[in-house]
Chains A and B, each alone.
Chain A
């Protein structure tokens, strides 16, 4: 674990600003999905020289949170802040490439981050009410000026929220990794296993939300196609997954015709 020197502080601040910018895509601007963990985490990892940590964090958190829907007034977990922070913690704690135990521990650290991000998001959204009230209470040219200002201030608040959260989470996470390194040997070993099994929980989470069945036939069909192609034909992964998707498409059309 490197010392908290000037370079480290600059890296943390850089990641925080990056998170602030990418985080705007989450709700406030565009929603082109660059804020999704599967994009944001590998990108952060690439910038910090550890794409692997970013890919592992990105896949796991994407699968876990993709169906946490921002419907109505519900504020979902801020997977952007969580994924960027977890990637930064892993990459900065082990320059040159974090091992799977550190990545696993960083992933686990996102669990306490989730309620904090939700609370911070709620606070920003509550504070935004005053911006719109000010527009409604204005008149004439001032109304247009305040409307434009409300939008800019809203963006700024969402940006500051993400930056502030990263500035808190990453140093705390790095300190936690320092403690983690002094734990008995079975704990890092457990975290290595955790990394390998966590994506399965993500897969289960999506399957649970997309189907009313515990064992959906489409999951089994995709599984069978993948097993056959990968083990019998030794096809490349993209080909295997393409055929699984085609099987899904055929299944969808078949279900439509039956009903």
Chain B
């Protein structure tokens, strides 16, 4: 059992947070985020277990296979810190960080992938692309602001939440309705996609299609192209194949004298 002076401080947690940003620095196919997880925890483990043998044994526990969504990993890192602290203080001998990691990394990974990669990132990107295509030079800053307000806030918040709750994922889910927010972000993204096409008459010169047709007809034609492209993709066409197909179509049109 270790003394009070070995308690984890906010400063220690911030150090862990800084190291958690390098969770995937040595990402590999077989071990994935294993080294990153152990690296993030190592300063706290060193503080909690001054005995080198104990420290090595605990570090080895955290070198077991680990992979989840990199931002949601903060929750498990925070929980592992808490469980290790309890264990070091002899308060809870049954504390099992390895079991917690094994049971939560898959569901948290699925949730995080869906929320961050599948909805927040596309929504931020679509909003920024919509603005950049119409000539707003500050669009990349909007993208970074929209994304990182959630990203940094939740990443830091989840580390502290995981530490405070010792890995109580049910409470985390009840506080943040990630699934509902993901669904809303996806719907907003779809509406913004429509907005991009509807604002075609306002696109900057580099993207603007030069044609004698009225603006409504140009936007309508754009929507038709998109519906056709989605239909083709549903039959197995990938974006890369469509890009090549589009290039071939443009070459054919230009050959016969049609240039947009």
B188 within 8 A of A: yes
B103-160 contacts to A (CB < 8 Å) = 113, 117-118, 121-122, 124-137, 139-140, 143-144, 147-148, 151-152
Instruction: Contact check, B28 vs A126: say whether CB atoms are below 8 A apart.
Output: yes
Q: How near does chain B come to A181, taking the closest CB pair, in angstroms? A: 16
* A233 neighbours in B (Cβ, 8 Å): none
> In the complex, A218→B187 CA distance in Å?
7
A-B CB contacts (within 8 Å), total count: 361
Closest residue on chain B to residue A115 by CB atoms: B240
Separation of A63 and B207 alpha carbons in the complex (Å): 14
Establish whether residues B70 and A200, one from each chain, have CB atoms under 8 Å apart when the complex forms.
no
Give the interface SS of chain A, mostly helix, strand, loop or mixed. Answer: helix
CB 8 Å contact bits of B247-258 with A (1 = contact, 0 = none): 100110111011
B25 interface residue (CB < 8 Å to A) = yes
A245 and B133 contact, Cβ closer than 8 Å, known pairs A67-B118, A129-B29: no
Question: In the complex, which range does the number of interface residues on chain A fall in?
Answer: 35 or more
Nearest chain A CB to B258 CB, angstrom units:
8
Most chain A CB atoms below 10 A, which of B31, B117, B126, B253: B126
Q: How far is the CB of B105 from chain A (nearest CB, A)?
A: 12
Contact B246 A194 (CB under 8 A): yes
Over the window 230-246 of chain A, the binary record of Cβ atoms lying under 8 Å from chain B Cβ atoms (1 yes, 0 no) is 11000001101101110
B147 surroundings in chain A (CB, below 8 A): 32-33
Inter-chain contact A32/B188, CB cutoff 8 Å: no
Is the beta-carbon distance between B122 and A255 smaller than 8 angstroms?
A: no
Contact of A32 among B151, B215, B222 (CB under 8 A): B151
Nearest residue (CB) in B for A100 is B206
Any B CB within 8 A of the CB of A155:
yes
For B, the interface residue count at a CB cutoff of 8 angstroms equals: 106
Q: Which residues of A contact B30 (CB under 8 A)?
A: 129, 132
Contact of A223 with B25 at beta-carbon distance under 8 Å, contacts A204-B229, A237-B131 already known: no
Interface of B is mostly: helix
**Which residues of B are found within 8 Å of A62, using beta-carbon distances?**
125, 128-129
Q: Closest approach, in angstroms, between the C-beta of A97 and any C-beta of chain B?
A: 11
Question: Which stretch in B82-90, B164-172, B230-238 binds the other chain?
Answer: B230-238
User: Cβ of A218 and Cβ of B131 under 8 Å apart?
Assistant: no
In this complex, the member of B29, B183, B201 whose beta carbon has the largest number of chain A beta carbons within 10 angstroms is B29
Set of chain B residues within 8 Å of A140, measured between Cβ atoms = 52, 56
Q: Check A111 against B202 for contact (C-beta < 8 Å).
A: no
Among B143, B186, B243, B254, contact of A189 (Cβ-Cβ < 8 Å) = B254
* Docked complex Cα distance between A196 and B134 (Å): 13
Contact A231 B215 (CB under 8 A): yes
By the criterion CB–CB under 8 Å, are A222 and B192 in contact? Answer: yes
With the chains together, A135 CA to B183 CA distance in Å? 41
Given A155-B22, A192-B260, A222-B195, 17 more pairs with CB closer than 8 A: A29-B25, A30-B21, A33-B148, A52-B206, A55-B132, A55-B206, A127-B28, A196-B206, A202-B129, A206-B189, A208-B230, A224-B198, A225-B194, A245-B195, A252-B183, A256-B180, A256-B183
B contact set with A: CB distance below 8 Å: 21-22, 24-32, 34-36, 38-39, 42, 46, 52, 56, 59-60, 63, 67, 70-71, 113, 117-118, 121-122, 124-137, 139-140, 143-144, 147-148, 151-152, 180, 183-184, 186-199, 201-202, 204, 206-209, 215-216, 219, 222-223, 225-227, 229-231, 233-234, 239-240, 242-244, 246-247, 250-251, 253-255, 257-260
